[in-house]
Amino acid sequence: MALTEVSSNKSFGGFQKVFSHDSKELGCNMKFGVYLPPQAEENKKLPVIYWLSGLECSEANFIQKAGAQRYAAEHGVIIVNPDTSPRSLNIPGDSEAWDFGVGAGFYVNATQEPWKKNYRMYSYVTEELPAVVAKNFGVAEGKQSIMGHSMGGHGALICALKNPGMYKSVSAFAPICNPCQCPWGEKAFNGYLGPREGGDWASWDATELVQKYNGPPLELLIDQGLEDNFLKQNQLLPENLIKACKAAGVPAILKKRDGYNHSYFYIASFIGEHLEYHVKHLK
C-alpha cells in the first residue's frame, strides 16, 4: 500500500494532492486525487467523500474543474477521486474507442477475456482504495459518502446500492441511470460482462438494483441538466430510475437544471450544494 506523492498544491488552506500506488486489483500503477482540508492538520479524523468521474476522464478533471476544494475546506471533509480505468496495460482493443477500455472502466468487475484480470474498478473503488485511504489519511471510521458524474454517477449509485450501509449518502450528476437500456451501457456491458443473457447485467444497473434494495434508509440525489445532449440521446434515462425508486419505495430527488449541459461548468455550478448535502448526512 505504499504511496508515491505525484503533486501537492495548497488550496483554500488545505492541500490538493495526487498520489500513485501499485494496485493489486487492477494490476497496474494507479493515480488518485486527495483533497486534505485545513482541519486535517489538526490531526482530526475527518469524513471522506469519494468522487467517481465519467468517460474519458482521469483523476485530473475533477481536481482542476469542479471547484470542490473551497467547499471541502469550509466543511472539513476529505475528497478522494480515483482514475476511471486501469492504465498502460496495452490490452488489445483497450484504446480503440473513447467509450470502452482506457478511461471507460464503468466501475464493474469484468468477467470476460481479456478484461477480467484487470478491469475490476468496482472492487478497486469499494475495497482496495478505501483501505489505502484509511491506512494513509486521517479518516473517520464509518463516515464516507460517494458521488459522481455520468459514468461515474452510475458508479456511485451502484456502489451505494450494492453495499447497504457502506455510504451515508449518494449523489450523481447526469448519471447513466439504466445502462442495460442505453447504447453506452449496452456496449460496455457486452464487452466486460458478456451477452445480456447470462451476463448478469442487472447487478450493475442502478435502475435494476434499486428494485431489490434491502438495507438502511438511502436517498438517491440525482442532478440533471436539461440541455444535456446525452439526455436527449437517451444515454442517461433518469426517468427510468425515478420510476423504479417510486415503485420500490426508495426515496429519490431529481433536480432538473434549466439551461445546463453535461460539462464541468454545470458540475461546478452545483458541487457546493452536493457537498453540503453529503455533509448533513456525514455529520
- Among all residues, which ones are annotated catalytic? 150, 228, 262
Gyration radius of the chain over CA positions: 18
Q: Which residues contact 224 (CB under 8 A, 6 or more apart)?
A: 173, 174, 231, 236, 238, 254, 255, 256, 257
CB 242 within 8 A of CB 195: no
Query: Hey, what's the cell of 75?
Result: 466543511
Helix and strand element counts for the chain (H, E): 10, 9
Q: What does each C-alpha distance from 45 to 48, 50, 78, 126, 283 come to in angstroms?
A: 10, 16, 10, 20, 12
